[in-house]
Amino acid sequence: MRCKFCGRDADIYIPYPRMHLCKEHFIVYFERKIERTINRYKMFSKEDKILIAIGGGKDSAVASYILKRFGYTIEGLFLDLGIGGFSEKSRRYAEKQCKDVDIPIHRVEIRKLFNRGINEVKSSRPTCAICGATKRYIFNKFAYDNDFNVLVTGHNLDDESSFVLSNLINWNIEYLGRQGPILPGTGKFIRKVKPLYEVTEVEIKEYADVIGIEYISERCPLSKGEKIPRYKHVLNELEKMSSGVKINFIKGFLRNRHLFKFDLGKSSILKECKVCGMPSQGEVCVFCRIWGLDKPVELKVS
Ligand code: FES
Ligand code: ZN
Ligand code: ZN
């Protein structure tokens, strides 16, 4: 097979839109796609101070590589959840990825802050829910405390289409209204953006391999029983039957998202947590409740 653009031997096949490409043109195709997503949703500009949540996996590694290559000002934050060997291995990859693209990396260690790991929290909530709430809080507060005005995550098309499918099946209207490539900042909420929103896991993996980006490929040992991989599997099966299902599903969702209208400023999240001062639905925010805090976590870097 020949590359669609230059006619040389193709190295990579993109199932949607059915295309054979050589390595060089795959890089051009992939980077253009990300650039278009950033511009289409006006995610950030060269003036912004961007924090990227870096976890050692391929998604955040590819996002940081490309943003740096595009000339944006970014710094990484690695959150160590204290899950033994898995966290250590993730940290080593995250550090190497940041070093390779020459961006500063910050580390927040849950075990140092609270004397226990994410799986040692006594709570009726599932570990993944505790983990999700902890990640959201720490990344947002770190960005807020250290004057970043944009927070980037490595969520890709497979993640997003499976979240939407899962939230539709469970009719989580509020989540659906908040789902999207960009969640605007308001008050102490920093703007959150997903530059990999329109690229698939397969494309990201190809890009990482072509560039030579190393990453951790194991999944978190605590994620067993999580439902999202099942939705991903279903969407992958549908994609095999008719390519383009995921991107068309997500584009259709974005066109119809007004049906699930959610206004962060007008939502019930209006109070300030009386422990940490961050936005909260109740008197004390979920994070401070989970970790049993009586004073705010200090995340400001001196
Ligand atoms: Fe969240 Fe493992 S990464 S529970
Ligand atoms: Zn080519
Ligand atoms: Zn709080």
Residue 260 has pLDDT above 60, yes or no: yes
For residue 295, the model assigns a pLDDT of 96
Quick: pLDDT tens for 213-244: 999 999 888 887 778 889 999 999 999 999 99
Quick: pLDDT tens for 64-74: 999 999 999 99
| CA 219 to ligand 1 centroid distance, Å | 9
Beta-strand runs (E) in the chain: 12-14, 19-21, 49-53, 73-80, 105-109, 150-152, 182-183, 191-193, 271-272, 279-280
Q: Which residue has the tokens 């095999």?
A: 240
Of 283, 265, 259, 219, nearest to 90 by C-alpha is: 219
According to DSSP H, which parts of 8-126 are helical? 23-40, 58-70, 84-101, 110-114
pTM of the model: 0.94
Instruction: Give ion ligand 3 contacts, CB < 5 A.
Output: 273, 275-276, 285, 288
As for ligand 1, residues whose beta carbon falls within 6 Å of it are: 81, 118, 127-128, 131, 220, 222-223
> If you average pLDDT over residues 67-95, what whole number do you get?
97
Residue 269 has pLDDT above 70, yes or no: no
> If you average pLDDT over residues 244-257, what whole number do you get?
96
> Which residue of 78, 87, 131, 155 sits with most ligand 1 atoms within 8 Å of its CB, as the best mutation to test the pocket?
131
> Which residue of 78, 79, 118 sits with most ligand 1 atoms within 8 Å of its CB, as the best mutation to test the pocket?
118
Alpha-carbon dihedral 293, 296, 299, 302, rounded to 10 degrees = -130
C-alpha 293, offset from chain centre:
26
Given the CA of residue 220, which atom of ligand 1 is nearest to it?
A: 2
Domains of the chain from N-terminus onward: 38-218+225-266 (3.40.50.620)
